[in-house]
Amino acid sequence: MKIIFVILGILGIIIILLALSIAIGSITFKQKVKGEVKELLKKSKEIEPEIVQEEDLDGLPEPVQRHLRYAQVIGKEKIKTVRLKYKGYFRQEPEQKWLPLQAEQYYTTDPPAFIWHGRIQFVPFLSIKARDMYREGKGNMLIKLLSLFTIADAKGKEMDQGTLLRYLNEMMWFPTAYLNDNIQWEAVDSNSAKVTMSDHENTVSAVLHFNKKGEIKNFVAERYREVKGQFFMDTWSTPNHEYKEINGIWIPAKGEGVWNLESGDFSYIQLEIIDIEYNTPL
């Protein structure tokens, strides 16, 4: 009987130590991200506000002009910083079940950069926390299990390309950035246009598809995809399903990320914007 109590006591101590380690790991991870966000937003405080004018749209392909008018950016202050939150679901493989996801993200538009951090919940007491980042031309994805164990710390040219392309894609949530000097547009047809973005040594392109109202219905590009430690260039798209007016600007509020593979389309993330703030750095 005494042995049983001893074993239970040891198990209790192990559980307490594990819980304490997880709590400390979570605090450490949050502090790391908080410091990175503070550093990211530091330069944005030095930028003078600008107002989008009608003439700023001159020379853009017609569907892009249609989109910016629909988004109601004319007469609004150009967006320099963004803070948003979204919820949704994520999976790594087509046969896997969808897992709940919560995320928060910060952006600057001059220079282009972002920090994203999110949590994927496997079971009530088991989660993965991740931080994705693009800054000064470099991308990095850090993933930790239980906030303690590093299971990925991806860097390199493929991450640089992928994270800048992600930034270009997510500019649909802060569309005044489409007017920045590092963006070039090329007409495709009456409802689509090619966009190219350059930053440091990286250049990425995509085709945006618009409807008659001016909503972005899809974003299609070639992006690196990691499969078992190797990178492959595949077609990536992000169809939007619903627009909402948030803080005076019409943006996509619901959408998904899809790998358009030879074996078929693989939707790996579904998300919904729940909050967004512009030009209010920490």
- Residue 43 pLDDT: 66
Between the alpha carbon of residue 6 and those of residues 11, 16, 107, the distances in Å are: 9, 15, 53
Task: Write the pLDDT tens digit of every residue in 45-66.
Answer: 566 789 999 999 999 999 999 9
CA 94 to centroid of chain Cα atoms: 21
pLDDT at residue 2 tops 50? yes
CATH class of 2-45+53-278: mainly beta
* Residue scoring higher pLDDT (17 or 233): 233
- With tokens 């896997």, the residue in question is 96
Task: Write the pLDDT tens digit of every residue in 84-122.
Answer: 999 999 998 999 999 999 999 999 999 999 999 998 887
Angle at 166 between CA 162 and CA 171, to 5 degrees: 155
Asked if residue 154 lies in contact with residue 163, where contact means CB atoms within 8 angstroms, the answer is no
Q: Is the peptide bond before 61 cis (omega within 30 degrees of 0)?
A: no
CA separation for the pair 108, 43 (Å, rounded): 9
Average pLDDT over residues 223-236: 90
How many of the other CB atoms lie within 10 Å of CB of 139? 24
pLDDT at residue 275 tops 90? yes
- Residue 154 pLDDT: 82
Between the alpha carbon of residue 170 and those of residues 13, 53, 98, 194, the distances in Å are: 46, 22, 22, 15
Task: Write the pLDDT tens digit of every residue in 153-206.
Answer: 688 999 999 999 999 999 999 999 999 999 999 999 999 999 999 999 999 999
CA 67 to centroid of chain Cα atoms: 21
